[in-house]
Structure 1
Amino acid sequence: MLVLILVVTMIFIILMVMITLVNLISKKTFSDREKSSPFECGFDPKSLTRLPFSLQFFLIAVIFLIFDVEITLLLPMIISLKHVNILNFSYIFIFFILILLAGLYHEWNQNALTWII
């Protein structure tokens, strides 16, 4: 049994050394400008004419995330409808929708929903 463990360990060590040697030998030595620079969404990172990030896009993404979380909160409420009192459920549901509508109204007043091109 000990001999078998020793043989497997030696084979494993030899394979690791061979893999490391093959990796070191097969490396390409030339460097390319495009290959060595980081890829950032199609922009050339070497140029200085990059456009700033749109704040409107960021605000729309945040609004999307808020309403996405809202869906994940509404679905369990609908499933629990058959286990709770309908009057209490209606109060909670209306309160939840009013909070969302107040947030939407606030975003609308702050002009976060208008695209300026």
Structure 2
Amino acid sequence: MDQLFHALADATRRDIVRRTLDGSHSVSALAREYPMSFAAVQKHVAVLERAGLVTKQRRGREHLVAGNPAALAAARDALDRLELVWRDRVARMADLLAADASADNSPDNEDFR
């Protein structure tokens, strides 16, 4: 997961993933879309490939890049699980704060008098 989220942390890489989810694109065609060198786009693709977000296939002289929707689904699942954990923690904190507030306002509380 660390590699996956590291790869998605960069806007260019997120855009490459978005573009490649609809089918294969050559690295050279992708490189024309960005204000950077071909080599820089190749490096972004390599990071995405190591993270499993894209696959690269050679066809003749071209390297074709295709997005991997299953990897994005895994990222989504991980984020959904984290969301549930944090929602539960926040709910428990709210319950504790509410219980503490009601104890502070209790007539039995000497500080209240």
Q: Give your verdict on TM over 0.5.
A: no
Larger Rg: 1
TM-score normalized by structure 2?
A: 0.33
More strand by percentage: 2
TM-score normalized by structure 1?
A: 0.32
RCO (CA 8 Å, sep 6+): is it higher in 1 or 2? 1
